[in-house]
Amino acid sequence: MSAAGRIVVVGASLAGVRTAKALRRKGFDGPLAIIGEEDVLPYDRPPLSKQFLTADEPALKPLENEEFYDGVELRLGQRAVGLDRTAGAVRLADGSKVTGEHVVIATGTRARSLPLLPDGERVARLRSAADAARIRAALSSARHLLVVGGGFIGCEVAASARSLGIEVTIVEPASAPVVRGVGEWVGGVLADVHRDHGVDVRLGVSVADAEFGSSGVSVVLTDGSQVETDFVVVGIGAEACTDWLDGSGVPLANGVVCDDRCRVVGGGGRIWAAGDVARWPSGTFGGDRRVEHWTNAVEQSAVLAANLLDDAADLRHDPVPYVWSDQYGHKIQIVGDVGARFETTLLRGSVAERRFAVAYSDHGVLCGVVAFDLPREVVQKRPLIASAARMADVS
Amino acid sequence: MKVEVDLGLCEHQGVCIGIAPDVFEFDDDGGLVVLQPEPPESARVLLEDAEAACPLAAITISG
């Protein structure tokens, strides 16, 4: 095994913890450190916008139980502030250094902020457990919630708030929710689903001004209309947490630039990256990608661990992307590439019944599927997407 | 080796079926079925992948 020395994982994220787990599972029994900024046992994020907000007794879902960290140097509540890439030394906020033969960058992303609506008593973004706890507390007394941004996080928070009986307005500058993700057609269905459940969906507008009063927030939209609300959740996307790498020589481009073996470019084979923070060239789908999906973090960390421990493994990370969203009891699943630029075809089911699957194709080649409550379609089409099947052969 | 799925946690995403179609399957009602609760040792790597890939952590491989 080529990695006898210490391995330092920066980021107690899904990618970070799964990398550690895969390293141990593959037989690495040397020193292993995980550095995490948050002061809680590493936990799973998908429930934060769903069950964590709506359950009677909210509980974080730990990624691994405490015993997993026996024999792991788990340094929580410690932020990495710098990296000496040639020495493999990670500098922490308290001035200490953790040095490894290998360094794994898994610092993830942070939610983008909106200058007009900064975090405060009546405004939150959702990324961490602490954020989710604040939103949950606010929802316990709110009558109205404004969600700024119709991405998946915003849509899920909106659905959770509706299930608690709270009035909700979604403001989205594009022509439909999640347009960049799934295109106009499916985005339009999603807007209808939210309207069916009583959400006031405002499309093609954004926030022009906000005034904070003693009893709430008054938000003016770009069409001149006004929304009075008790609480605002800003969900306008995420950006890679790479500021701690500024000046380190690690190439950054809204993400850490690595190859498809999870090696950071210019890292001398000792610096690695996985999860939301990693940007790598995708052979199958073309171009450089940075993917914020749960499943990508899981798959990429497994590839990383295999390559780190054994040069001969030489595994490529080039998966068919997969992500899901839960809204109003619907399971929405996305597999492959489903951007707005592709042609869409109804494959199965009925939009009116909110149970359907849509194929996305590029010049007659199947590249992705979105399914509403039809998981079987996702299972069946995934291999066809991987093999770039022609639409004429897809049924 | 034993494969167990906690059907209380399972949300029928089908990720495991994509990875190990010989072991997992949807029944006609869309419920998850474990076709081989005690699969051969040769399936271990694949099943560990399925265990790791389950978004609900509903799969347990033991033995």
**Residue A274: exposure state from Cβ atoms within 10 A (0-12, 13-18, ≥19):** buried
Percent of chain A whose pLDDT exceeds 90: 96
Residues of B in contact with A324 (CB under 8 A): 13, 55
Superfamily of chain region A329-393: FAD/NAD-linked reductase, C-terminal dimerisation domain (3.30.390.30)
Q: What is the pTM of this model?
A: 0.96
**pLDDT, tens digit, for every residue of A151-185?**
999 999 999 999 999 999 999 999 999 988 899 99
Q: What is the 3-state secondary structure (H, E, C) of chain A?
A: CCCCCCEEEECCCHHHHHHHHHHHHCCCCCCEEEEECCCCCCECCHHHHCHHHHCCCCCCCECCCHHHHCCCEEEECCCEEEEECCCCEEEECCCCEEECCEEEECCCEEECCECCECCECCEEECCCHHHHHHHHHHHCCCCEEEEECCCHHHHHHHHHHHHCCCEEEEEECCCCCCHHHHHHHHHHHHHHHHHHCCCEEEECCCEEEEEECCCCEEEEECCCCEEEECEEEECCCEEECCHHHCCCCCCECCCEEECCCCEECCCCCCEEECHHHEEEECCCCCCEECCCCHHHHHHHHHHHHHHHHCHHHCCCCCCCCEEEEEECCEEEEEEECCCCCCEEEEEEEECCCCEEEEEEEECCEEEEEEEECCHHHHHHHHHHHHCCCEHHHCC
* Partner residue facing A382 (CB), from B18, B26, B49: B18
Smallest Cβ distance to A375: which of B30, B48, B49?
B30
Query: Average pLDDT of B35-45?
Result: 95
Mean pLDDT, chain A, integer: 96
Rounded Cα distance, A238 and A271, in Å: 23
User: For an interface test with B, which of A324, A378, A379 has the most B Cβ atoms less than 10 Å from its Cβ?
Assistant: A379
Q: For A361-395, what is each residue's pLDDT tens digit?
A: 999 999 999 999 999 999 999 999 999 999 999 98
CA distances from A116 to A102, A214, A233, A353 (A): 41, 17, 13, 39
| Cα dist from A134 to A65, A130, A144, A160, A338, whole Å | 25, 6, 16, 14, 33
A31-86, pLDDT tens digit by residue? 999 999 999 999 999 999 999 999 999 999 999 999 999 999 999 999 999 999 99
What pLDDT score was predicted for residue A283? 81
Tell me which architecture the domain covering A7-110+238-313 has in CATH: 3-Layer(bba) Sandwich (3.50)
- A4 pLDDT band, cuts 50/70/90, is low
DSSP 8-state code for residue B44: H
Nearest CA-CA distance, residue B22 and chain A, Å:
13
Give the pLDDT band of residue A2 (cuts 50, 70, 90): very low
Q: Is B15 helix (H, G, I), strand (E, B) or coil?
A: helix
**Residue ranges per structural domain of chain A:** 7-110+238-313, 113-234, 329-393
For residue B21, the number of C-alpha atoms closer than 13 Å in the C-beta half-sphere is 6
Please determine whether the domains at A7-110+238-313 and A329-393 fall in the same fold group of CATH: no
- Asked if pLDDT for residue A114 goes beyond 60, the answer is yes
pLDDT of B11 higher than 90: yes
Identify whether the C-beta of residue B59 lies closer than 8 Å to the C-beta of residue B2. Answer: no
**Considering chain B, what is the average pLDDT of its residues?**
95
Residues of B in contact with A298 (CB under 8 A): 52-53
Query: What is the CB-side half-sphere exposure of residue B4 using CA atoms within 13 A?
Result: 7
Domain boundaries, chain B: 2-62
- What are the phi and psi torsion angles at B51 (to 5°)? -60, -45
Number of inter-chain CB pairs under 8 A, A vs B: 41
Dihedral of the CA atoms A108, A114, A119, A123 (nearest 10)?
-110
For the segment A117-161, what is each residue's pLDDT rounded down to a tens digit?
A: 999 999 999 999 999 999 999 999 999 999 999 999 999 999 999
CATH 2.160.10.10 holds for B2-62: no
- Chain A CB contacts of B57 under 8 Å are 44, 61
A4 by Cβ neighbours in 10 Å (0-12 / 13-18 / 19+) ranks as exposed
pLDDT of A3 > 60? The answer is no
* Cα dihedral: A250, A255, A258, A262 (round 10): 120
Taking CB atoms and an 8 Å cutoff, what residues of chain A touch B19? none
- Measured between beta carbons, which residues in chain B are less than 8 angstroms from residue A295? 15, 53, 55
A 164-223 → B contacts, CB under 8 A: none
A113-234 CATH pick, 3.90.550.10, 3.40.50.1100, 3.50.50.60, 1.20.120.80: 3.50.50.60
For A252-296, the pLDDT digits (tens) are 999 999 999 999 999 999 999 999 999 999 887 778 999 999 999
Predicted confidence band of residue B56 (pLDDT cuts 50, 70, 90): very high
Does this complex have an ipTM over 0.85? yes
Residue A1 has pLDDT above 80, yes or no: no
